[in-house]
A and B are shown apart, each in its own frame.
Chain A
Amino acid sequence: MYWLKWAGLPVMVIDGAGRLAKGPALLMILGAAFAVSVVSVSSGAYPLSTADILAVWVGDLDDEVASMVLFDVRLPRLVLGFLVGAVLAVSGAILQGLFRNPLADPGLIGVSAGASLAAIAVIVLGGTWLGGWLDLAGVWALPIAAFFGGSGTVLLAWRIARRAGQTSVATLLLAGIAINAIAGAGTGLLTFYSSDEELRSLTFWTMGSLGHASWDDVAMAAPWLLLSLCAAPFLARPLDAFLLGEQVVGHLGYNTDWTKRAAILIAGLGVGAAVAVSGLIGFVGLVVPHLVRQTLGAGHRIVLPASALAGGTLLVGADCLARVVVAPAELPIGLMMALIGGPFFLLLLLRTRIA
């Protein structure tokens, strides 16, 4: 155990198991989140200094452009980036608990692709075949479709990968390849039949972007994202039991079927809503929960909140990077995450044995 003196009080930093103590660790992530947020609102094609931000914030600086950049461009982007990152990380953590495997990322097993296919179908076929759906659902047509696409795919992957009460990880990942391929073919087909204008918004889905984030996007997606984030902690204890195996969940007094359905619903809802506003962003759900488990332990009461915070921080950070590296243009955030996450996934594969 390792203790630091802070304000005269001993503070445990490393616990008996050699892991970061939970309080200080959460504080550290919060600090990082704050730092990244400040960088995020100040960097970009129109740089704002910290002093400018503070001045605009309290209304001292009467600069219309600065105020517009801050309130209408940077802040909604920050909020959306944080929420999407948090939800993707939490959904990843939930799915990994459910499948009992640290490689079950929403992107890898095809959930994101399913959600994105549904969203793209609404964009392209909204004027023709799916016109009735647009009339019925209005502004919610896209997020709801993405949600059903997402949860449907989780369910599908679940059904395929399970035989006689056991989840086969190899089957799960292979099913993910197949689902991704099928969804990709569907997306390609729709792209083929799309008009120029539709095509432009399609590219945005497949690459993933926070670039067009507006308060309207936030208003559309935030309720679902927040619902998914707020519901997740209720699953913490049954998900802990899932780590010991599906039968143990029942022995410990939880309703196994209910837990499974709730987990699939929450992850599908979260990933669906995230995909609906930001397109395909992979690897957040893989990288973040893994790092959290390694440093803080695998109990979901810490994994879920810490993943949410760290996921938001990572995505906002990656978004900053995406804006800076090729400024004044910007890289799609999905591309950025793939650049970070791909090698990370390989490293994970090399270090762990898949059953």
Chain B
Amino acid sequence: MLLHVDGLGVHLSGKPIVRNLGFQLDAGEMLVILGPNGAGKSTLLKGLAGEHKMGAGQVMFVGRALSNWSNRDLARHRAVMPQRVEVNFPLTVEEIVRLGRPPEPLSKSMPVLSELMELLDITHLRHRLAPGLSGGEQQRVQLARVLAQVWSTAGPVLLLLDECTSALDPAHQQQVFSLLRRLAKQRGFGVLAVAHDLNLAARFADRLMLLHQGQSYISGQPSAVLTEAVLAAVYGLSARVLELDEGYPLVIPQDDARVSAYAEPSLSRFAPLNPSCRQAS
């Protein structure tokens, strides 16, 4: 068992954000956490990353309480990608990816850096300065940096990724999630990723956990979690869910009755100002 979370509670300035949460993650497993804005996904990840104090419960990482790990050991076995990393200083892409590596001569890091930059499709950016990159490019650079940290680790590895594809185009989203799945299956990484894209999650995750108001609403195989009833209850989203032959569900959001009822009169009110707008709708 890579990660065993039991009765976890995380408070933020006195307010309980995550409550009585329990789940497990095996080595080689990819668990994607879904949930509406404010459900506590990031807070949960930050709790596991040691950024927030955990109020209650127990987190065991490789059979040892998380609080008993030293910073240094933890960094070798657990890598974290925050939702946002902003770089204001003129560091090159290669330098940033190298920040993930332990102190070692450049000649030793170079093969790892090259491999990771190739995998994340940033080799052509390697000498560019990070502040000048697009959001998606920066996100891939950070992911490469995160992977560099645990790339040479022998033994258990846990990846905690907070919306690591939120700024990526569809092709790169697909590429990154399939890379993460490959890392889980081939190298035994445990992947815990927060995401919003239901179909991306359904396609690549072994299991999904749907957070709702700080608690696990439902967790399990994608086809068990992503049902029309669950989506309506948690997100208030009306959607059609198709079960594909490939064995995972496909979610197609539908027009929300409340939204279209509200949108129609307001649209007609503004329509004279911009006729082309109406035509497009």
A interface, CB within 8 angstroms of B = 15-18, 100-102, 237, 240-241, 243-245, 247-248, 250-255, 293-294, 297-299, 355
Contacts and interface: CB of A to CB of B under 8 A. Distances in A.
B99 interface: yes
B80 interface: yes
Please give me the 6 A-B residue pairs with the lowest Cβ-Cβ distance, nearest first.
A253-B75, A298-B89, A17-B127, A251-B80, A16-B127, A253-B72
Given A253-B71, A253-B74, A17 B103 contact: no
B89 A102 contact: yes
Contacts of B92: 17, 297
Nearest to B74: A253
B100 interface: yes
A17 B99 contact: no
Contact of A247 (B71, B72, B82, B91): B82
Interface in B45-87: 46, 49-51, 71-72, 74-76, 79-80, 82, 85-87
A243 B50 contact: no
A101 B86 CA distance: 12
B82 A299 contact: no
B121 interface: no
A250 to B, nearest CB: 6
B89 A250 contact: no
A355 B86 CA distance: 11
Given A243-B89, A251-B79, A299 B126 contact: no
A298 B85 contact: no
A293 B145 CA distance: 21
A245 to B, nearest CB: 6
Contacts of B95: 297-299
A75 B49 CA distance: 53
B99 A241 contact: yes
A244 B80 contact: no
A243 B91 contact: yes
A252 B90 CA distance: 20
B89 A293 contact: yes
Given A102-B89, A252-B99, 20 more contacts: A15-B127, A17-B92, A17-B94, A17-B127, A17-B129, A241-B99, A244-B85, A244-B87, A244-B99, A244-B145, A247-B49, A248-B80, A248-B82, A248-B85, A250-B49, A251-B49, A251-B82, A253-B71, A254-B71, A293-B89
Contacts of B127: 15-18
Contacts of A244: 85, 87, 96, 99, 142, 145
B216 interface: no
**B: interface residue count bin:** 20 to 34
Nearest to B103: A237
Contacts of B142: 244
A37 B238 CA distance: 76
A17 B87 CA distance: 17
Nearest to B91: A298
Contacts of A247: 46, 49, 51, 80, 82
A251 B76 CA distance: 10
Interface in B119-146: 126-129, 142, 145
A101 B89 CA distance: 8
Nearest to B70: A253
Contacts of B80: 247-248, 251
Nearest to B84: A245
Interface in B144-198: 145, 149
B82 A298 contact: no
A119 B60 CA distance: 52
Given A250-B50, A253-B76, A297 B91 contact: yes
Contacts of A18: 127
B88 interface: yes
A101 B96 CA distance: 17
Contacts of A101: 88
A245 B72 CA distance: 18
18 contacts: A15-B127, A16-B126, A16-B127, A17-B129, A18-B127, A101-B88, A241-B99, A244-B87, A244-B96, A248-B82, A250-B49, A252-B100, A253-B72, A253-B74, A255-B71, A297-B92, A297-B95, A298-B95
Contact of B82 (A237, A241, A245): A245
